[in-house]
Amino acid sequence: MQRIEHDGRVVAMVGGGRALIAGGLTADLDAVVPAKCLYALELQAGQWPGPYTDAAANRYAERALMRACPTRPHAQRRR
């Protein structure tokens, strides 16, 4: 199981090919958390070298969101 966190709070769990995402996420996390979950799922499937890190998941999510909607203003970058 992989915990997906934001600001020290668990917002999702990923394991067994599934992601369980917490309800009540703020609008800026509605797209980021699923993207981070996808990264964790792809890691678990062996598509990326591990281990999971929050920094790597954030980079993956940022790139995915920019490809999906290049004109949408995104939440400020987190490093």
Q: What is the pLDDT of residue 6?
A: 87
Q: What is the pLDDT of residue 79?
A: 39
DSSP one-letter code for 70 = T
Average pLDDT value for residue range 4-25: 94
The pLDDT-based confidence of 71 (bands split at 50, 70, 90) is low
Q: What is the pLDDT of residue 76?
A: 45
User: In this prediction, what percent of the chain has a pLDDT beyond 90?
Assistant: 65
Picking from 4, 7, 67, 8, the residue whose alpha carbon sits closest to that of residue 41 is: 4
Q: Are strands 2-6 and 9-15 parallel, antiparallel or unpaired?
A: antiparallel
Q: Residue 36: helix, strand or coil by DSSP?
A: helix
